[in-house]
């Protein structure tokens, strides 16, 4: 049997804690913890009120750039800990403003580069700050049991990863959840060198503003003046206009990004993956298949620890979640995709709590698999002893005439499909109206794009039996263009049968979306063509000359059910999710309006130049 199915009965999550519960069961303290270079980091500590001389509690530490408020020893969080389950387990919960944020001293550096060698107390990074914090807590907070765990989602996930490098001996368990790993190759603001415009714009419009002195002030969201992000960013025009019209040189990191269009030392130094060596704490990496921000970070952090710290207990958990959904939601649906179960509470009670309890309290028996992963389509949890599963085999879906898609390589010569890509009329990434990077686009119906003339569409015949794809995808495109540069977006789509519509239960409102013929996005990734041979040294396309573009798409675990079809899209704009490529070989971050041009792109599907997508299938 290729997998084992986890228990289908999902326990109901404990009731929300609420402010009164936290105040009744914890006493809050505030400290300014000194680091080895003398800077002090603001830290809030919540200690269980039933603490007595004979009781000892482990510490769970969360380091964040987003503030540990509310500030004041008499002002409490409404919920504490990674989950309701752990809040009731008996832990000391610690929250810390990282260096240079909110009330902590020092200089804040985005994704602090790790220093592999250190020569003195002034050589500090997030590893040393975590070490010094843990050391101080063990010596200064009564009733601790001498063990510390760390956790964090998104940016705090990065601090968790950085903190488990050169770890304190008492640091026994770490859970980087949706951690940032590399801001140029795959997380947040870039994907394979292409710029994720609305996400970067929205984030740094608030987070990127200077903090001249300690503050608990939160930034207001950017005032768009319209709900239509497609229209807003199209009218904004070139990337230089973002600064000239809106940021006014007030966002230092935005300006730095605009000066770093390639994978320079600036970005390479912020690749935390290469430093995950000799990790001592037990590691549980958590991510969501539908995470628009840090799916790459979760998958690649797990892989880097596996590779560089082979003796470390290191497991991966991937659920059907948007960014951080596992911590704050029932996880029963994502956009129009439903899972028929509450995946969030199940994870919090059966995966996260046992992990920390085992390593920090010697409680229970740990039965975590190497990979605890949710299979979409069939909607079941699976356990595997490796990821990708050992039984998975590599196969390629090839493009064929008349938009067909099959496992057979093409035999034609000189065959291609082409489309005209116009930066002035880019393909939208969603049919929703939004100013941001919608999380729902990860499962959106793609029929709006299928009908565009600048999107190539290939699909299989209806499947005669279920087909499970598990693991990373790899696109191979043999292309040419009349321009000097181009982006390439490849999307894998699950096409539902036309008769999929399900009857509405009596007394229930009709569903908003009819599922007959629904084209659910399973995975989509962009690649900026100039980086096809090197992210460090981009190069133009020669007009009309065939070139090969190969790149990986993030992993999937999806069951394409019998009667469904597999569909693949190829396109060159995905707006405004991805900034517009001028299609002229220029520095895109300083491009002028006159640089943007139409271009005709060809995708070849011939013997010797067969375009397609490689997948891993399970028997």
CB contact at 8 A, 276 and 301: yes
Residue 542 sits in a domain whose CATH number is: 2.60.120.260
Reported as a single tens digit per residue, the pLDDT across 259-298 is: 999 999 999 999 999 999 999 999 999 999 999 999 999 9
Give the angle subtended at the CA of 152 by the CAs of 147 and 155, to the nearest 5°.
Answer: 140
Reported as a single tens digit per residue, the pLDDT across 115-142 is: 999 999 999 999 999 999 999 999 999 9
Q: How far apart are CA 370 and CA 149, in angstroms?
A: 20
SS3 content of the chain, % helix, strand, coil (to 5): 20, 30, 50
Residues 476 and 518 in one domain: yes
Reported as a single tens digit per residue, the pLDDT across 388-435 is: 999 999 999 999 999 999 999 999 999 999 999 999 999 999 999 999
Mean pLDDT of 151-178: 98
Residue 212 confidence (pLDDT): 77
Confidence of residue 501 (pLDDT cuts 50, 70, 90): low
- The one-character DSSP state at 536 is S
Residues 264 and 276 in one domain: no
Residues 225 and 311 in one domain: no
Residues 231 and 368 in one domain: no
List the alpha helices (DSSP H) in 389-500.
Answer: 447-450
Structural domain count, the chain = 3
Mean pLDDT of 609-617: 98
Residue 6 confidence (pLDDT): 39
Confidence of residue 62 (pLDDT cuts 50, 70, 90): very high
Residue 52 confidence (pLDDT): 74
Residues 346 and 483 in one domain: no
Is residue 37 predicted with pLDDT exceeding 70? yes
Centroid of chain to Cα 75: 32
Confidence of residue 240 (pLDDT cuts 50, 70, 90): very high
Residues 259 and 353 in one domain: no
CB contact at 8 A, 442 and 322: yes
Reported as a single tens digit per residue, the pLDDT across 305-322 is: 999 999 999 999 999 999
Confidence of residue 507 (pLDDT cuts 50, 70, 90): low
Mean pLDDT of 174-196: 98
Is residue 206 predicted with pLDDT exceeding 80? yes
Q: How far apart are CA 567 and CA 585, in angstroms?
A: 31
Count CA within 13 A, CB hemisphere, residue 122.
0
The sign of the CA dihedral 329, 334, 337, 339 is negative
* Domain boundary residue, one of 384, 417, 445: 384
| 188 within a domain of the structure (yes/no) | no
CB contact at 8 A, 148 and 59: yes
| 505 within a domain of the structure (yes/no) | no
| 506 within a domain of the structure (yes/no) | no
The SS3 call for residue 145 is strand
Confidence of residue 4 (pLDDT cuts 50, 70, 90): very low
Is residue 7 predicted with pLDDT exceeding 50? no
Closest CA to 232 of 603, 586, 585, 576: 576
Residue 219 confidence (pLDDT): 76
pLDDT-wise least confident of 107-121, 242-256, 370-384, 501-515: 501-515
Is the N-terminal amide bond of 70 cis, ω within 30° of 0?
A: yes
Residues 18 and 62 in one domain: yes
Residue 442 confidence (pLDDT): 97
Residue 503 confidence (pLDDT): 55
Q: How far is CA 445 from CA 165, 402, 514, in A?
A: 42, 22, 10
Residue 363 confidence (pLDDT): 96
558 contact partners, CB below 8 Å, separation of at least 6: 375, 376, 377, 468, 469, 494, 522
| 361 within a domain of the structure (yes/no) | yes
Residue 311 sits in a domain whose CATH number is: 3.40.50.1820
Count CA within 13 A, CB hemisphere, residue 567.
22
Containing structural domain, residue 310: 4-182+270-384
Reported as a single tens digit per residue, the pLDDT across 67-118 is: 999 999 999 999 999 999 999 999 999 999 999 999 999 999 999 999 999 9
Residue 54 confidence (pLDDT): 82
CB contact at 8 A, 124 and 236: no
Confidence of residue 304 (pLDDT cuts 50, 70, 90): very high
| 446 within a domain of the structure (yes/no) | yes
Residues 541 and 418 in one domain: yes
Residues 398 and 442 in one domain: yes
Q: How far apart are CA 574 and CA 427, in angstroms?
A: 5
| 107 within a domain of the structure (yes/no) | yes
Is the N-terminal amide bond of 389 cis, ω within 30° of 0?
A: no
Residue 258 sits in a domain whose CATH number is: 1.10.3020.10
Reported as a single tens digit per residue, the pLDDT across 455-489 is: 999 999 999 999 999 999 999 999 999 999 999 99
Q: How far apart are CA 414 and CA 481, in angstroms?
A: 15
* Domain boundary residue, one of 242, 268, 294: 268
Residues 226 and 329 in one domain: no
Residue 1 confidence (pLDDT): 34
- The encoded tokens of residue 545 equal 């000359």
Mean pLDDT of 509-525: 85
Residues 420 and 278 in one domain: no
| 200 within a domain of the structure (yes/no) | yes
* Domain boundary residue, one of 357, 384, 411: 384
Q: How far apart are CA 85 and CA 98, in angstroms?
A: 26
Confidence of residue 3 (pLDDT cuts 50, 70, 90): very low
- Compute φ and ψ for 155, nearest 5 degrees: -60, -45
Mean pLDDT of 599-608: 97
| 187 within a domain of the structure (yes/no) | no
Centroid of chain to Cα 253: 20
Residue 508 confidence (pLDDT): 52
What are the beta bridge partners of residue 202? Answer: none
Residues 366 and 482 in one domain: no
**Considering the chain, what is the average pLDDT of its residues?**
94
Angle between helices 155-163 and 126-140 (to 10 degrees): 80
């Amino acid at each position: 049997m290729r997998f084992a199915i986890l228990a289908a009965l999902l326990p109901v999550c404990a009731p929300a804690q609420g402010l009164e519960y936290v105040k009744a069961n914890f006493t809050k303290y505030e400290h300014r913890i000194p680091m080895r270079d003398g800077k002090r980091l603001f830290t809030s500590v919540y200690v269980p009120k039933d603490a007595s001389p004979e009781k000892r509690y482990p510490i769970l530490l969360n380091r964040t750039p987003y503030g540990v408020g509310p500030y004041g020893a008499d002002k409490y969080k409404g919920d504490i800990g990674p989950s309701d389950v752990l809040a009731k387990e008996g832990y000391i919960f610690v929250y810390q403003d990282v260096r240079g944020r909110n009330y902590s001293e020092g200089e804040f550096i985005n994704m602090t580069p790790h220093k592999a060698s250190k020569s003195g107390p002034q050589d500090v990074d997030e590893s040393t700050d975590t070490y010094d914090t843990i050391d101080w807590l063990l010596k200064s907070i009564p009733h601790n049991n001498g063990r510390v765990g760390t956790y964090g989602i998104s940016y705090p996930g990065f601090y968790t990863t950085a903190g488990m490098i050169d770890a304190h001996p008492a640091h026994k368990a770490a859970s980087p959840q949706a951690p940032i790993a590399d801001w140029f190759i795959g997380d947040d603001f870039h994907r394979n060198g292409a710029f994720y415009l609305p996400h970067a714009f929205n984030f740094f419009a608030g987070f990127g503003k200077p903090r001249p002195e300690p503050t608990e002030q939160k930034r207001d969201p950017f005032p768009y003046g319209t709900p239509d992000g497609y229209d807003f960013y199209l009218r904004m025009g070139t990337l230089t206009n973002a600064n000239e019209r809106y940021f006014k040189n007030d966002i230092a990191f935005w300006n730095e990004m605009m000066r770093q269009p390639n994978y320079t030392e600036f970005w390479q130094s912020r690749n935390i993956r290469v430093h995950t060596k000799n990790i001592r704490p037990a590691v549980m990496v958590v991510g969501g298949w539908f995470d628009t921000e840090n799916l790459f970070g979760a998958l690649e952090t797990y892989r880097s620890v596996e590779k560089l710290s082979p003796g470390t207990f290191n497991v991966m958990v991937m659920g059907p979640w948007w960014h951080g959904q596992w911590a704050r939601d029932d996880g029963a649906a994502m956009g129009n995709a439903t899972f028929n179960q509450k995946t969030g509470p199940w994870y919090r009670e059966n995966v996260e709590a046992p992990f920390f309890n085992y390593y920090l309290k010697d409680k229970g028996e740990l039965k975590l698999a190497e990979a605890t992963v949710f299979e979409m389509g069939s909607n079941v949890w699976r356990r595997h002893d490796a990821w990708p599963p050992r039984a998975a085999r590599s196969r390629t879906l090839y493009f064929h005439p008349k938009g067909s898609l099959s496992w057979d390589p093409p035999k034609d010569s000189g065959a291609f499909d082409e489309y005209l890509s116009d930066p002035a009329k880019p393909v939208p990434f969603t049919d929703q109206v939004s100013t941001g990077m919608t999380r729902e686009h990860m499962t959106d119906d793609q029929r709006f794009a299928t009908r565009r003339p600048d999107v190539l569409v290939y699909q299989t015949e209806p499947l005669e039996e279920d087909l499970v794809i598990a693991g990373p995808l790899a696109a191979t495109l043999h292309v040419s263009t009349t321009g000097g540069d181009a982006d390439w977006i490849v999307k894998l789509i699950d096409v539902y049968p036309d008769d999929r519509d399900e009857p509405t239960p009596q007394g229930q409102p009709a569903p908003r979306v009819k599922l007959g013929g629904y084209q659910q996005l399973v995975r989509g990734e962009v690649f900026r063509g100039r980086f096809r041979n090197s992210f460090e040294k981009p190069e133009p396309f020669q007009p009309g000359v065939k070139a090969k573009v190969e790149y990986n798409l993030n992993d999937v675990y999806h069951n394409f059910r019998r009667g469904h079809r597999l569909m693949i899209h190829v396109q060159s704009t995905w707006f405004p999710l991805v900034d517009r490529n001028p299609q002229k070989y220029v520095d895109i971050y300083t491009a002028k309006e006159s640089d943007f041009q139409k271009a005709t792109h060809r995708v070849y599907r011939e013997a010797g130049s067969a375009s397609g997508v490689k997948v891993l299938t399970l028997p």
